[in-house]
A and B are shown apart, each in its own frame.
Chain A
Amino acid sequence: MADEGFEFPVDRTQVMLFARSVLDIRPEFSDPNDPATKAVGGIVTPPTFVQCSAHWQPNYPLDLTRPRKDPAPQRAAGGGGGGGLGRGLHAEQHYEYHHPIHVGDTLTVTQKPGKSWEKEGRRGGKLKFSESITEYRNQDGVLCVTATSVGVQTERAVDQ
Chain B
Amino acid sequence: MTLKVGDKHEQVVIENVNRSHIVKYAGASGDFNPLHHDEGAAQAMAGYPSVFAHGMLSMGLTGRMLTDWLGPVALKKYGVRFTKQVWPGDTLTAKGEVVSVDNGLATIKLVTTNQNGESVVEGEAVAAV
A interface residue numbers (CB < 8 A to B) = 14, 17-18, 20-24, 26, 28-29, 40, 44, 46-48, 51-55, 60, 62-66, 83-87, 89-97, 100, 148, 156-158, 160
Contact = CB atoms under 8 A, between A and B. Distances in A.
Which of B30, B46, B75 has most A Cβ within 10 Å?
B30
Contacts, number: 131
A53 B67 CA distance: 21
B46 A48 contact: no
Contacts of A85: 33-35, 45
Interface of B: 13-14, 21, 24-25, 27-35, 45-48, 54-57, 59-61, 63-64, 66-68, 72-73, 75-82, 84-85, 87
Contact of A52 (B29, B64, B79): B29
Closest 6 CB pairs between A and B?
Answer: A94-B79, A54-B30, A22-B60, A21-B28, A47-B63, A157-B47
Nearest to A24: B64
Contacts of A40: 72-73
Contacts of A91: 81-82
Contacts of A17: 27-28
Given A23-B14, A26-B67, A48 B56 contact: yes
A97 B30 contact: no
Nearest to A146: B77
Given A48-B56, A90-B55, A97-B77, A22 B27 contact: no
Nearest to A55: B30
A97 B81 CA distance: 18
Nearest to B45: A86
Nearest to B52: A160
A55 B84 CA distance: 26
A53 B31 CA distance: 10
B78 A18 contact: no
B14 to A, nearest CB: 6
Given A40-B73, A46-B72, A84-B33, 12 more contacts: A23-B13, A48-B60, A51-B29, A51-B30, A51-B60, A54-B31, A85-B35, A86-B45, A87-B46, A92-B81, A92-B82, A158-B85
Contact of B55 (A65, A83, A160): A83
Given A46-B67, A55-B30, A92-B82, A86 B60 contact: no
